Each structure stands twice: as C-alpha cells, then as structure tokens.
Structure 1
Amino acid sequence: MPIIERIVAREILDSRGRPTVAVTCGLRGGAVASASVPSGASTGAAEALELRDGDPARYRGLGCRKAVANVDGPIAKAILGQMLPDQISLDTLLIDLDGTPNKSKLGANAILAVSLAFARACAAERKVPLYQHFADMIGQPLRTLPRPTINLFSGGKHAGGQMPIQDILLVPTAATIDQCLADTFAVFYAAADLTSSRYQTRPLRADEGGLAPPFASIDDALTDAVESIRRAKLEPGKDVGIALDVASSHFFDHGFYNVGVADPRTPQGAGAHGGVPAAQPVDSLGMIEIVRAWVRKFPIVSVEDALAEEDWGHWPALKDAIGKSSLVLGDDFLCTNPRRIRMATDGGCCSALLLKVNQIGTLTEAAEARRLAKDAGWMVTVSARSGETEDNWLADLAVAWGDQIKIGSITQSERLAKYNRLLEIEAETGLPVVKWPG
C-alpha cells in the first residue's frame, strides 16, 4: 500500500513563460515520480482557482511561490507517512484539507500537482505504464487511442483577438496516430504557405502553436482551412474534418454576442454568414443560426462553447440545431465540474465534454466528471491548456479516458511532447484510433 515519504514542490515556467507548479513524490517502496501542471488563458468562471502570489514586481503577480509553499508546508504535513490505498484516498484528503468549493485556500495548481505526481509514482511502483494505471483507476480496459483534434488557426485569447473565435482545428480521419500527424503536417504547412502569400505576413503562431494571420472574417478563416486541406491533396470532410473552439463567453456581453458576423435571420445577413460584419451584436438565437450556417457550409464535426458558459437556456436549442452533424462540446460551460455536467445532462445541453483536469483540481474529481459524461452517452475530449509544460502525462490520460485529445498544433515542444508520447504508446500497444467522425 503506497505511503508517501517525500513530497517537494518547485516553481517552473510554462510555455508562455509564466510560473506554474511541479511536484516530486517519493513512496516508501522506492518509487519516485514528478509531474507538472498547466495553466489556461481562456478560463471558465467555474474553474478551480490557480493560486498566484499577486506580487506585481514579480511575474506581474503570476508567481506560484504561495502554491509551492502550500505543498511543502500544510500538504506535506498532512500526507507524509500516511497509508493511502488509492488515488481517491489521497485526493479526498487534499480536498478536505483545502475545505473550499474552488480550492482557493491551497490552490488547485498545488493540489493537482500532488495528485498527478502521486499517480505517476504509484504507476512506477506497480511497474505498469501510466496509461494502464489511469485505465485501472476507472476500471476500463484499453481499447482505442484518442483521435487528435489539432490546432490550425487561432484567434481569441490565444492570438490577441484578431478574430473573435478561439481556434479552428483539424480532425484527421486516418486510422493511426502516425498518419494523423503526417496528414496534419501536410495541411499545416500548406496553410502556412497559403496565408503567407495571401496576407503578406510571416507565419506567426499563437499560444498553442496555431497560425494567426489577420483574417478579414471568420468565414475567410474557414474557407482558408478548407483550401489548405485541398492544397495538401486531401479531401475536406473525408480525409480531414474541422472542429471549432468558439469560446463564446469571451465576446458575450449583456445577453448579446459580439461575433462580428451578420445575423442570418435578417435580410442584411442573408447569404453572408461569415463575411459581413454585423451592425449590431446578435442574441443567442442569432448566434445559434450563425453556428448552424457554419456547420452547413463547412465540414465541421465538433463545435466547442458555441454559446456562453451561463447561457443555459439556449444550449438545448443549440444541440437541436447542430447535434446531428456535429459534437456539441462543453468546455467553459462545463469546467470538468460534476455539478455542471449533471445540470447539462439533465437539460439536454451537450453531446461531449472537454475534460481539463486542472479545471477541477484532482484526478478523482475529473474521473467522476468523465463517468457522468460517458453515462450520458457523451464523447470525451481530453484537453491540454494554452500554458503547457514539457510533461506528457496528458497523452497517457487521453489514451485511458478519452475519445479525442486536444493538445494544440504540431509545433512547439510542449505540444510535441504529448504527440510523441502518443506515437510511443501506439507502437507499444498497437491499438487503433477511435473511429470518429463518421
């Protein structure tokens, strides 16, 4: 039975150069493992709290020394020498020790780093791969590898807001991770060439490695994505689909969406679903019609956060409008929070969960979020954050828990660490990629 003999935290930097937390956990049996946690830029209001120092003279207040001190202090005091039979025992102890609804006392970054490091140390002690340990945690056999959804174009908070929506992603349909990445490479560099010549800009990249040219409209960005697939000698909708991360909460204000697209319900907007700036922001039903028009016009198989996180009354209408053609994926809307997922399943709001472990703060709570989603018949996309580290535990988690994985683009080492781990797991297991879309 695992007994923690050593727990040490340190402040490290994420892919944006901002501080985050890493923890090393040592067990009495000799197993030692470390884990680091990511941080998000596009965060939901219901997310667990990342504890930051607030000192403007150091990292603009984003330092994590308080979170590190909480691991080395009260958390270490509570767990060192404790007999912890499983992950639930540790995570429950940490949740109780914090005692707040959003982990604001100790910090979700501190708590999650301990939760992950313990899991990795337990896997090492059991002498099993981390993905197998994660699968055993939820009592599920390993059957498939997750299908990648890979960032191509970025806007919103990931790219300085040059277009309102956050990400346009590629969904390669190949049967292996290896071929999915090769197809994505072809499309990405076709897009880099296309946008460089079309917009006379360098191929600038956003937080998650996606391209970020100055599109005149969202419709232009989607059109360029389709053209890039064709330039890579692949067929849009057959070889490669498209996914959207709309992140609508970031342009939602007092009941209206400032998406910069004409309302299709008005004569002014008829036939101009992406290319004509709206004179006025649109209401929720107008936003649904805009998204419906995109799904009809382009090979879109997944739409994330098409409505704002508190626009609860209209999510069922969104699902009715696009749910037969596309996943209706909740990120900020759900925040990997079991309470919100129960409300969404009861209300018929979604068909998929974007699972981000640091939104909730422990592996145990994230496993419960996953269980609720799967019990409702939803798909689960295990997701990275915009501020990532070189740690690759996310790939193992997605293999064990996910139908899809969302890491970012095929550039930047913090993203490639996860893709390379997927390639390694594919070679080890020979598992097929999940059959989706189609």
Structure 2
Amino acid sequence: MPTIRRLTALEILDSRGRPTVQATCELSDGTVGTASVPSGASTGTAEALELRDGDPRRYGGLGCRKAVAHIHQELHQALSGRPFETQQELDQAMVALDGTPNKARLGANALLAVSLAFARATAHHRGVPLYEQFATILAQTDGGQAPASFRLPRPTINLFSGGKHAGGQVPIQDVLVVPARARTMDEALSTTYAVYQAAADLCRRKYQMRALTADEGGLAPPFPHAQAMLEDAVAAIRAAGFVPGQEVALAIDVASTHFFQDGRYHLGEEPHDSLAQIQVVRQWVEAYPIVSVEDALAEDDWEHWPELRRQLGERVLTLGDDLLCTNPARIQRAIELGAANALLLKVNQIGTLSEAAQAFVLARRAGWQVTVSARSGETEDNWLADLAVGWGGDQIKVGSITQSERLAKYNRLLAIEVAAGFPLVAWPG
C-alpha cells in the first residue's frame, strides 16, 4: 500500500449554501481521491463536533477555514509519509491526534473528509469500485463481515417536510415514501416520481401553492397539523394509482427532540408526556400505512424508548437517529434496553469511516435493520450510495427526488444497478 503524499482541502458550500469541507488525498503512487462531507440541521447532542470558525462577519460564523487549515497543516504533517495498511490505522491515528472525545479540536468535518478521501484514493489504487473498498473496510472492522453478495438498498424518499427541514409549520420533520413493491431501483424511483407529482398537484389544489421544497427536497405546504401530512401522503399515493400499504408505504421522521421541553412533547395544541406521545405514534401506525418510525421520542428519553419499541411491535421499524448518533456506546445501550430495532447511520455523526463501521457491526449483530442516511446539508458527492451498497444497508434515506445533491446519490445507485445488476433489498417481512 502506498503512503500518503499530500493532503489538501477546500471550503465549499453545501446544498443550503453553508460552508462544508472537501478533502483530497494523494498517494505516493500518484493516485488521488477527493471527497466532500455533509452537514446536518437536525443534529443530536451526542454527535461529533463540526468545527466552525465562529466569525460572525463571514457566513454568520459557520465558516470552515479552521477545519480546512487543520487538513493542510497538522493532519498533512502527521499523516504524510506514514504507511497505513488499513482504513482503521489511518482513522485511529487521526482520532489519537485530535485527542478529544467528540473531535472538537481538529473537527469531525476535517477528520471525516480525510477518512473518505483516503478510502476513495485506496479504491482507485486497487482498481475497484468504491463500494468494494467500503466492503473491505467493513470486513476489517471488529470482526465484521463484508456482504456475501451485494444488494441495492431500498430507498425511503422524502415527500413532505416540516420541523427544522422546512418552516416549522408542523413539528414533525418528514413523511417519506417507501416504494415497497418495486423490484429495481429504477422502478422505485419512477414509482416515487408518480407519487411526488401527485402530491405537488395536491399542494396546488388544496393549499394554493407551488411545489416549493424544504432542505431535502420535500414539499412543505402549510399543513394545519401533523396528521394532515399523513392524510395528504395517502391521498397522493392513491392519486398516483398505487395501493397504500401494499405497493407504496410510508415512513416518518418525528424528530421529537426538537419539540420536547421540560419533560413534555409539544406536538399538538396541548403538551403531553412520554406515554401519551407513544400512544399518538401508535395511533398513526394503526391508521396509516407506516412501516418505519424515526425518533418518535426525544434523544434522552431513554426510560420510555423500550415501551415505544414494545408498542410498535415487529411490523414497524423503531428507528433511532438522535437517540443513537451512530455512536457505538449509545447503540450498545439501546440494544441492552431493547429500545430500538433499527439504526439510522450517518457517518458524520461519529466522524470517521471506521467508527461508523463499528456502529454498523453492532447493529447488525443485534439483528437490527440499518438505514444509511444523508444529511440536510449535502453535496454533489455520491460516496453515500457506494457506502450503502458496500456495507449492505437495508434502506437508504437521501431526500426527495429533486435537487442535484440528492439525485447524485440516486443516479449513482442507478449506475451500479445497470453495471452490476445487483438486486434491490426487500422490505423486512
């Protein structure tokens, strides 16, 4: 394996017009890999720290020049010329160099950019697709195993948005389309297109508004309440000619942490406690064709997550995002408590590929499903599609079927499907 010759970086803009980091890793044989990292809006408190400049005169303090400088200087000086036989060796060296529990000194955005750029450079050096390099990383991680055969993750695709991804017109964050019967990625996307266009037409007729979109491309009309999002989603599925719950199902991202205050959930007109919140979500699941529920409770409401999991049962994914933060320690706690049965995996929540792979392995060993997820602030880089294929993710959550930073991932999955002929993962059960 060649050594790292040079690490460079650039401050670029994400899909919300905010700065993020792009890194380039050049190996000693001349092989080059470049990668860009995303940034979240709906972030958990346990996430690794994105390093921002804090200068209010520039991008409102959100600049990333410090993170870029760390790649050009300290990370380049510490890593160049050293032999790294595996991704784990590189990532461990960066974590040790940072020396903080949440990557606060050098920045998780700097470390992840280098981690990804090294992985892509290594794939180029080996002459293999990036998803094969990701599979190798997984196989090298804590006894993990690469998928026996590659598959394409089933997409869960934003239809309607509220919360922090839109104007906060309703508290819950997203209602997503699950093309449950689609047999190929091409069919999944064409099915979703039909539902999305039906929903856009519904927005014009019912809310007298154009198809204005939220951070991840979801439609965001002025819903009067959360239940209206679900009712309109079912109406759009029917208008597109599909049977709700059979051909097309729904997933919801409740993002409860953002409306949890003083021990109460401020979801409707009257705030309520955790047990009442569980009952609200259970009623939704019983009334609508919902197959996945993300963050139905707040990130630190650990006491009640096991009851949520019990109430939702086996036919619905109890999906943890803010609860778990792709953090192995939090995932292990959730496994022991029986708090979830699915992980939303976001690599930038933990800060390096190797640590994210550890989180994936833990979830898999517990028998969990894994949804590989993008962030609200994305770039046109498509490495996430390869990651979901290489690690054998069950689902992929990228956003809607609009906006180039979302389509880059879907188009990469289409290209892999055509080139390799991999099948689409079936929905569990």
Same fold (TM over 0.5): yes
Once the two structures are superposed, the pairs formed by residues 255-334 of structure 1 within 5 Å of their partners are 255-260=263-268, 278=269, 280-334=270-324
Residue in 2 aligned with 1:436?
Answer: 427
CA RMSD of aligned residues (A): 0.7
In structure 2, the residue matched to 1:162 is 169
What is the rounded CA distance, in whole Å, between the counterparts of 1:244 and 1:376 in structure 2?
23
Alignment-mate amino acid for residue 416 of structure 1: L
C-alpha distance in structure 1 between counterparts of 2:33 and 2:314, whole Å: 44
- Structure 1 segments of 4 or more deviating over 4 A? none
Deviation at 1:437, TM superposition (A): 4.3
Q: Which residue of 2 aligns with 1:30?
A: 30
Distance 1:151 1:420 in 2: 16
Please tell me whether residue 176 in structure 1 is matched to residue 184 in structure 2: yes
Whether the aligned pair in 2 keeps the contact of 1:153 and 1:212 (CA below 8 Å) is: yes
Alpha carbons 1:8, 1:25 under 8 Å: kept? yes
1:336 to 326, 336, 356: 326
User: How far does residue 325 in structure 1 lie from its aligned partner after superposition?
Assistant: 2.5
Q: Secondary structure at the match of 1:353?
A: strand
The offset of 1:153, in angstroms, is 0.1
Q: In the alignment, residue 255 of structure 1 is paired with which amino acid?
A: G
Q: 1:113-139: per-residue Cα shift (whole Å, max 9, x none)? A: 000000000000000000011112122
Aligned to 1:353: 343
2:83 is the counterpart of 1:83: yes
Match of 2:68 in 1: 68
Unpaired runs of 5+ residues, structure 2, are 140-145
Which residue of the other structure, out of 121, 146, 156, is the alignment partner of 1:149? 156
SS in 1 for 2:211: coil
Aligned partners of 1:344 and 1:2: how far apart in 2?
A: 40
| 1:109/1:358 contact within 8 Å kept | yes
Q: Secondary structure at the match of 1:24?
A: strand
Decide which of 196, 211, 229 is 1:203's aligned counterpart: 211
1:342-374 CA distance string (max 9 Å, x none): 000000000000000000000000000000000
TM-superposed CA distance for 1:144, in Å, is 1.5
Alignment map for 1:225-264 (pairs within 5 Å): 225-260=233-268
Structure 1 match to 2:143: none
Deviates more, 1:9-18 or 1:426-435: 426-435
Residues 301, 437 of structure 1: 8 Å contact kept: no
Deviation digits for residues 204-243 of structure 1 (CA, Å, limit 9, x no counterpart): 1000000000011111110110010011001111111100
Return the alpha-carbon distance in structure 1 between the equivalents of residues 92 and 408 of structure 2.
30
Alpha-carbon distance, 1:63 to partner = 0.2
What whole-Å deviation, never above 9, does each CA across 1:15-67 have from its counterpart, x for those lacking one? 00000000011111221010000000000000000000000000000000000
Choose from 377, 383, 387 the match for 2:367.
Answer: 377
Task: Name the aligned partner's letter for residue 175 of structure 2.
Answer: I
Q: Residues of 1 paired with 2:96 and 2:228: CA distance? A: 50
Percent identity at matched positions? 65
Matched residue, 2:99? 99
- Contact 1:360 1:366 (8 Å CA) reproduced: yes
Question: 386, 398, 402: which is aligned to 1:411?
Answer: 402
Q: Secondary structure at the match of 1:43?
A: coil
Deviation at 1:84?
Answer: 0.5
Aligned mates of 2:327, 2:2 — CA distance in 1: 28
How far residue 93 of structure 1 moved from its aligned partner, in angstroms, is 0.2
Asked if the contact 1:9/1:21 (under 8 Å) is kept, the reply is: yes
Could you report, residue by residue, the CA deviation over 1:383-426 in whole angstroms, capped at 9, with x for unpaired residues? Answer: 00000000000000011221100000000000000000000011
2:334 alignment partner AA: A
Length, aligned pairs only: 420
Give the structure-2-normalised TM-score.
0.97
The unaligned stretches of length 5 or more in structure 1 are 261-277
Worse-matched range after superposition: 316-325 or 182-191: 316-325
Q: Please report the TM-score for the alignment, with normalisation by the length of structure 1.
A: 0.95
- The DSSP-based 3-state class of the residue aligned with 2:40 is coil
Secondary structure at 2:156 match in 1: strand
CA contact (8 A) 1:295 1:325 kept: no
Q: Tell me the secondary structure at the aligned position of residue 242 of structure 1.
A: strand
